[in-house]
Amino acid sequence: MSMKNVLAVALGIMSAIGGFVDIGDLVFNTQAGATFGFQLLWVVVVGVVGIIVYSEMCGRVSAVSGRPVFDLVRERAGFGSALATLIASEIVNLMTCAAEVGGVAICFQLLSGLPYRLLIPLAVLLLVVTSWVLPFRWLERLFGYLGLGLLVFAVAAIKLNPDWHQVAHGFVPGSHSGGSLMVYLYFVVGLLGAAMTPYEVYFYSSGAVEDRWGIKDLRLNNVTSIIGYALGGFLSFALMIVAAVLFLPRGIDPAFLGTPALAAQHTLGQVGLLLALVGILFAVGGAAVETSFAGAYNLAQFFGWRWGKKERPADAPRFTLAWLAIFALALLVVMTGYDPIKLTEYSVIFSVVALPLTYLPILLVANDRTYMGEHANGKLANVLGCFYFAVIVAISIAAIPLLLLTNGGQG
Amino acid sequence: MSKGTEVDIALGILDHQLVDADGRNCGKVDDLEIAGLASGSPEVVEIVVGGNAWKTRGRLGRLAAKLSGNAVHVPWTEVDSVSSVVQLKRPAAELRLNRGDERWAGLIRRLPGS
């Protein structure tokens, strides 16, 4: 690899790490740590490997065939099922986008002290202007790089010097203590859902088309996504460990988005607090942009419209209107004053229900040699793909009953 | 495409992306008009795009069709090739497949930097 390629890989990995965590990961990882200590760390590993397996697959399909995920959903599931999937995914995208927008406003509030309600429209305006002005690649980089502020949690986790023996135990699935079995299972579903949210694969595969991936990019981009997501998973570990050490013994319920930032302050002082807030701001801001675009990508790909940031807005008018409309609707949802943390929990749990319909077409097409030729799934991709599909079906059935039985993890 | 080319309609054409001569997306293959079913040698004569083309596509499709306008019919002779997309021989505007974008483009053009 040339020096230029090494740099490109490094930059890609950095933006994947920064872009991995969103409000769903922040909420579920800290709450899981505050409730069950290190005991759920193994779930993060399962979730991260899952998103790597399916991102790799849909990235490969996009690079080889030029077709993004929702094209495949429509082709394989047919009009009716695809339309049902579209409606479900749009509801989840909107809920998630609203939660992330709320998260951005909370960060602004913590940084400025101004009233939350006033900062919501400002947050949406800034996100819309940024998305309008910046080309696709720079959007990825801006939010990805500044999201790296979250690395402060990795430093905090190490500095807190947890009982590493116990931490290691958390990576082995097994019996649990503290809290009921139902709540434990609710967090298993929530953590998997937060790691494998469908909007990530929608955005990832459409992004591959936006970046004009071809077969020559396959290896380079695989390395980027696999390492980037794997390292991003470490941020999830860090959040859970920090919450386990600081919140669990004190009985603190991290009911606010700012709570994890206070953990960084406790460990690393004012600099820690500032880095944590900047990291959270750009992580949730980036995810707000990703969800609004994912919604527009899906709509355009279902109906066959022109789409993408690669087009001038007036050349893809319906796509452009779609992402603007999703931001506008998200603004309305957040302005009702509904708690963004609650909204996050619901959006993650509902997204789990929509997962099978998103992932099955990817698995089918990645195996179709008329599409993929020699780049069709190998044995490893299929074993992992089928295993994760079974996991997804199981958690999609369990998600809503667990949400109701545990009253949203309250026990 | 020439007569007599065999394609798997369900998997190979239906619900696929339509791309015009300039490489632009211009709708999906929402339905197909097939002739000669009675005579035993069926062939695709038209691609039906958008609007009430959805009325044959299940319960949700019927509802969607009611909410939208007339479908556009594209003769099969306008098809250049079939791969992961259905490639057309002419630009979308000449086949009346640009209606949707035309309707909204004016609005977007008013915004700065569009």
Q: Which of A237, A236, A235, A213 is nearest to A224 (CA)?
A: A213
Q: Which of A330, A203, A234 is nearest to A25 (CA)?
A: A234
User: What is the reported pLDDT for B6?
Assistant: 63
- B16 and A82: CB-CB below 8 Å? no
Name every chain B residue with its beta carbon within 8 A of the beta carbon of A317: 101, 104-105, 107-108
pLDDT tens digits along A26-80: 999 999 999 999 999 999 999 999 999 998 898 899 999 888 989 988 988 888 8
Q: Which residue in B has a C-alpha nearest to residue A85's C-alpha?
A: B60
Interface test with B, best of A60, A64, A70, A83 (most B CBs within 10 A): A83
pLDDT tens digits along A155-168: 999 999 999 999 99
Which residue carries 């279902």 as its tokens?
A302
CA distance A90 to chain B (A): 16
Residues 6+ apart with CB under 8 A from A68: A58, A62, A202, A205, A206, A208, A209, A297, A301
- B17 and A320: CB-CB below 8 Å? no
> Phi and psi at residue A208, in whole multiples of 5°?
-65, -40
Q: Which residue in A has a C-alpha nearest to residue B109's C-alpha?
A: A314
Extents of the domains making up chain B? 9-109
- A303 and B57: CB-CB below 8 Å? no
Q: Which residue in A has a C-alpha nearest to residue B100's C-alpha?
A: A318
CA distance A295 to chain B (A): 18
Mean pLDDT of the A91-108 span? 96
- B64 and A71: CB-CB below 8 Å? no
Q: Please name the member of A80, A300, A316 whose beta carbon is closest to the beta carbon of B57.
A: A80
pLDDT tens digits along A267-276: 999 999 999 9
User: What is the reported pLDDT for A1?
Assistant: 57
In angstroms, the Cα distances linking B102 to A83, A303, B53, B93 are 24, 15, 20, 9
Helix axes A317-335, B99-109, angle to 10 degrees: 60
Name every chain B residue with its beta carbon within 8 A of the beta carbon of A318: 100-101, 104
CATH number of B9-109, picked from 3.50.50.60, 3.40.50.11540, 3.20.20.450, 2.30.30.240: 2.30.30.240
Mean pLDDT of the A127-155 span? 92
User: What is the reported pLDDT for B41?
Assistant: 82
User: What is the reported pLDDT for A191?
Assistant: 96
HEC states along chain A?
Answer: CCHHHHHHHHHHHHHHHHHHCCHHHHHHHHHHHHHHCCCCHHHHHHHHHHHHHHHHHHHHHHHHHCCCHHHHHHHHHHHHHHHHHHHHHHHHHHHHHHHHHHHHHHHHHHHHCCCHHHHHHHHHHHHHHHHHHCCHHHHHHHHHHHHHHHHHHHHHHHHCCCCHHHHHHHCCCCCCCCCCHHHHHHHHHHHHHHHCCHHHHHHHHHHHHHCCCCHHHHHHHHHHHHHHHHHHHHHHHHHHHHHHHHCCCCCCCCCCCCHHHHHHHHHHHHHHHHHHHHHHHHHHHHHHHHHHHHHHHHHHHHHCCCCCCCCCHHHCHHHHHHHHHHHHHHHHHHHCCCCHHHHHHHHHHHHHHHHHHHHHHHHHHHCCHHHHHHHCCCHHHHHHHHHHHHHHHHHHHHHHHHHHHCCCCCC
> What tokens appear for A354 in the block?
């929509």
- Is-contact B21 B88, C-beta < 8 A? yes
Residues 6+ apart with CB under 8 A from A343: A95, A98, A99, A102, A333
In order of their start, the domains of chain A are 16-405 (1.20.1740.10)
More confident residue, A261 or B60: A261
How crowded is the C-beta side of A330, counted as CA atoms within 13 Å?
41
Find residue B18's DSSP bridge partners.
B86
Residues of chain B with pLDDT under 70: 1-7, 10-11
Sheet holding B43-49, edge to edge: B31-35, B43-49, B72-75
d(CA A265, CA A268): 5
- B84 and A66: CB-CB below 8 Å? yes
Q: Which residue in B has a C-alpha nearest to residue A74's C-alpha?
A: B15
Instruction: Out of A17-21, A270-274, A368-372, pick the least confident.
Output: A17-21
Q: Please name the member of A82, A304, A315 whose beta carbon is closest to the beta carbon of B27.
A: A304
Distance from the first to the final alpha carbon of chain B: 37
User: What is the reported pLDDT for A165?
Assistant: 95
Q: Which residue in A has a C-alpha nearest to residue B101's C-alpha?
A: A317
Name every chain A residue with its beta carbon within 8 A of the beta carbon of B16: 75
Q: Which of A94, A135, A109 is nearest to A292 (CA)?
A: A94
Mean pLDDT of the A369-397 span? 93
The verdict on B81 touching A (C-beta cutoff 8 Å) is no
Cβ contacts below 8 Å, chain A against chain B, sum to 83
Q: Please give the single-letter amino acid code of residue A112.
A: S
- Is-contact A290 A205, C-beta < 8 A? no
Q: Please give the single-letter amino acid code of residue A52.
A: I
User: What is the reported pLDDT for B57?
Assistant: 85
Q: Please name the member of B30, B84, B104 whose beta carbon is closest to the beta carbon of A318.
A: B104
Distance from the first to the final alpha carbon of chain A: 53
- A79 and B16: CB-CB below 8 Å? no
d(CA A103, CA A203): 20
The verdict on B60 touching A (C-beta cutoff 8 Å) is yes
SS3 of residue B86 by DSSP:
strand
Which residue carries 């997204």 as its tokens?
A351
Q: Which of A135, A153, A150 is nearest to A289 (CA)?
A: A135
DSSP B10: I
CA distance B107 to chain A (A): 8
User: What is the reported pLDDT for B1?
Assistant: 59
Q: Please give the single-letter amino acid code of residue A114.
A: L
Q: Which band of pLDDT confidence, cut at 50, 70 and 90, is reported for residue A223?
A: confident
ipTM metric: 0.91
The verdict on B15 touching A (C-beta cutoff 8 Å) is yes
User: What is the reported pLDDT for B99?
Assistant: 85
- B84 and A133: CB-CB below 8 Å? no
